[in-house]
Amino acid sequence: MSATPIALPASRVPDSATAPPLRWGVLGTGWAASHFVDSLHGNSGQRVVAVGSRSGAKAVAFARPFGIHRAYGSYEAVVSDPHVDVVYIATPHNHHVENGLLALDAGKHVLIEKPISLSSEGLEMLLAVATTRGLLVQEAFWTFFLPKYDVIRQLVADGALGEIRSVVADHGEWFADDHRIQDPALAGGALNDLGAYPIALATWVLGRPTDARASATWSARGVPADVALLMRHGAGGASTLTTTIRSTTPCRAAIVGTEATVLVDGAFFMPGRFSVEDAATTRRLRYDEPSLRHDALHFQAAEVARRITTGELCSPSWSHDDSREFLAGLESAVAALPAPDPLSVESLVRTYGQ
């Protein structure tokens, strides 16, 4: 008999406007930081009061359109500002741990963009310092704070899908050759930015990998540009995941159980639609929500504000253990990558003139 519900559960994510208002500092002035500030100011009571960059001019230029009055030419000035309650870190991946420790040492709670670290060791270092100081440290995996993922969370937890056997997901976008994601010095490549989403979905549902196989092609600048992953997981299932920075793909996902399957429309990691299809019948349930795209970043900030106010050190929506499982998946994927073929890279250089 199918375990599939006759109706979908309601999302339990509260209105972000009801979260206790905190004062935020932001490290970094790139694309992610801009969308984060815009989302907070437009949808919640959270306010960004300070921003920092390695360049004072960049900080001022970033701050002006948002009405942020404290623009600093250093990260140290932001974390030392007594008007800042919590720091959002949107610097390049390979600076997350360093910048997170800077904020924690200054006594500030931190929300750190994914991946929170490029290694499990970096994550554990952050958690050890945060625990000692009684501060919250949270990975900013905004997808899992969205209302639709709370509905999926309930379906998985309640056994509505039966035994989950597999996760299938892809994430691909086209990026120009001079984009940051193409730069190996900034931990670029398909895995850390785009592949993080399929890997996180797979580990969230199936647990950390016990085995990983990968195929990849490399860019002329030496980053993995196209990656296909096949993973076996501790919970007994398998995942098939693809990511690329060479083309825009459907970005869909499926969570496949013995009783039912969740099919998530593209882009699966953003607000939007999904359906639940019964494995034995034609019954189909449909979930829909406004496609807010990155305007939905406020959900994670509001949740962090709630947890800080109640003295908690992390949110159950994306727990420290979730971060651990995800990083184990990311590390497994990196370890499984084949070495770049020097002849292939040389050929790309000749073809594209890089």
pLDDT in tens, 120-161: 999 999 999 999 999 999 999 999 999 999 999 999 999 999
130 contacts: CB under 8 Å, gap ≥ 6: 104, 110, 136, 137, 313
Quick one: 156 and 211 in the same domain? Answer: yes
Residue 194 lies in domain: 144-291+314-352
Taking all residues of the chain, what is their mean pLDDT, rounded to a whole number? 94
Measure the CA–CA gap between 12 and 168, rounded to whole angstroms.
26
**10 occurs within a structural domain:** no
Peptide bond into 115 cis (omega under 30): yes
CATH number of the CATH domain containing 345:
3.30.360.10
Quick one: 48 and 193 in the same domain? Answer: no
Quick one: 78 and 116 in the same domain? Answer: yes
How confident is the model over 5-49, as pLDDT tens digits?
Answer: 778 999 999 999 999 999 999 999 999 999 999 999 999 999 999
Share of the chain above pLDDT 70, in %: 95
Residue 351, pLDDT > 70, answer no
User: Residue 350: its pLDDT value, please?
Assistant: 41
Neighbours of 295 (CB within 10 A): 15
Examine the fold and report which residue of 141, 171, 201 is the final residue of a domain before the chain moves on. Answer: 141
How confident is the model over 250-265, as pLDDT tens digits?
Answer: 999 999 999 999 999 9
The residues annotated as belonging to the active site are 114
Residue 1, pLDDT > 60, answer no
**3 occurs within a structural domain:** no
User: Residue 342: its pLDDT value, please?
Assistant: 63
- Nearest in space to 165 (alpha carbons), one of 233, 225, 75: 233
Measure the CA–CA gap between 216 and 15, rounded to whole angstroms.
42
**21 occurs within a structural domain:** yes
CATH number of the CATH domain containing 88:
3.40.50.720
**1 occurs within a structural domain:** no
Q: What is the pTM of this model?
A: 0.94
Number of H helices, E strands in the chain: 11, 14
User: Residue 4: its pLDDT value, please?
Assistant: 67
Residue 2, pLDDT > 80, answer no
| Number of domains the chain is built from | 2
Examine the fold and report which residue of 141, 165, 200 is the final residue of a domain before the chain moves on. Answer: 141
SS (H, E, C) 101-135: HHHHHCCCEEEEECCCCCCHHHHHHHHHHHHHHCC
Examine the fold and report which residue of 109, 141, 173 is the final residue of a domain before the chain moves on. Answer: 141
Lowest-confidence range among 19-23, 71-75, 105-109, 346-350? 346-350
**11 occurs within a structural domain:** no
> Exposed, middle or buried: residue 209 (CB in 10 Å: 0-12, 13-18, 19+)?
buried
**9 occurs within a structural domain:** no
Quick one: 90 and 183 in the same domain? Answer: no
